[in-house]
């Protein structure tokens, strides 16, 4: 049972990482336009875009 004293702080650290990842994703606008993202997969990018 003593291992709980180690495991739970580790779990909390993961929890903090998950929460900050979520907040970062949401704040950087990743959930603002879901229609666009759904179709992004179909937009193939060319390897060397010409520089203008």
Q: What are phi and psi of 27, to 5 degrees?
A: -70, -30
Where on the chain is the footprint of another protein (CB under 8 A)? 1, 4-5, 8, 11-12, 15, 18-19, 22-23, 26-27, 29, 31-33, 35-36, 39-40, 42-44, 46, 49-52
Q: Check if the beta carbon of residue 25 is closer than 8 Å to that of residue 31.
A: yes
CB of 8 to another protein, least distance (A): 5
CB of 49 to another protein, least distance (A): 6
CB of 21 to another protein, least distance (A): 10
- Alpha carbons 22 and 25: distance in angstroms, whole number: 5
- Alpha carbons 52 and 46: distance in angstroms, whole number: 15
């Amino acid at each position: 049972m003593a291992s709980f004293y180690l495991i739970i702080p580790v779990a909390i650290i993961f929890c903090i990482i998950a929460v900050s990842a979520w907040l970062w994703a949401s704040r950087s606008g990743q959930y603002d336009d879901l229609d666009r993202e759904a179709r992004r997969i179909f937009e193939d990018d060319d390897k060397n875009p010409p520089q203008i």
